[in-house]
Amino acid sequence: PCCVLYTKTTEEGAVWVELCRTECIDDEHNPKFSKQLVVMYNEAVQQLVSFRVYDLDYGKPDLIDKNSLGQLETTLRMIAKSGSSTLETPLIWKGKSSGAIKVQLEKLEESKTVVDMQLSCTKIDFKDGSWTGEPDPYFKILRMSMGNIWTQVYLSETLYDTKDPTWKPFKLSEVDLCNCDQQRALKIEVFDWNKKSQHSMIGEAFTTLEDLLRKADLQLVNPKKPKQKSYGVLHTLSIVVSERQ
């Protein structure tokens, strides 16, 4: 699925216009999109928005009715005034509920700062069900957002059959990573990718951008396991904070 954000003015005869869209997540019934949808918010103006979720098989960008999974039409003001700035409501398609959508609104700081980073992991203590028994690890980075909600901001590639993965370098704006607050809580989750079943958590670690800049190793623990032992060690191989040119 992919979520597309449309906007429309309140003028008579106005039509919905696509503003931006999330990434497309393959084969997932409960997607958590990491790409933020950025829109200028004006509290004095009635800003109509429509969140439309589509099933875009094999990356095809066709936004047609047969690929629709449902939509939500609301205003930015309604989301902003929903207590925690989070709106959770059914997706509607052809007059019926077709799932649920959670929309979170957060004011973003203005900054040109970017963070270039590369992570690796060693000593992963996990066996999957494949014939090799070796995990296929990938990781997610989440930040603590308003209302104490974890928001995914990055999803890595998957590396296959390895207990010592070194993922490719990546770049995030400081706004996306921590909204320019280097002490904001971050969570890194490492999973074992599975082709025919739900992906399995290997472990997680909590940190901040401030701590990542110190390149301190992070122990992976699994909250679902009774013994709080280490299931691997996360390393910050490189990290550079710079101004976008």
pLDDT at 191: 95
Element housing 209 (H / E): helix 209-212
Q: How far apart are CA 50 and CA 13, in angstroms?
A: 16
Q: Any idea which of 115-119, 120-124, 228-232 has the lowest mean pLDDT?
A: 228-232
Q: Which of 49, 64, 57 is nearest to 19 (CA)?
A: 49
Query: Average pLDDT over the chain, rounded to whole?
Result: 88
Long-range pairs for 132-137: beta carbons < 8 A, 24 or more residues apart? 132/161, 134/160, 134/161, 134/162, 134/163, 135/161, 135/162, 135/163, 135/192, 135/202, 136/160, 136/161, 136/162, 136/192, 136/193, 136/194, 137/162, 137/165, 137/190, 137/191, 137/192, 137/193, 137/202
Q: pTM of the entire structure?
A: 0.76
Evaluate if residue 7 carries a pLDDT over 80. Answer: yes
Residue linked to tokens 């969140």? 51
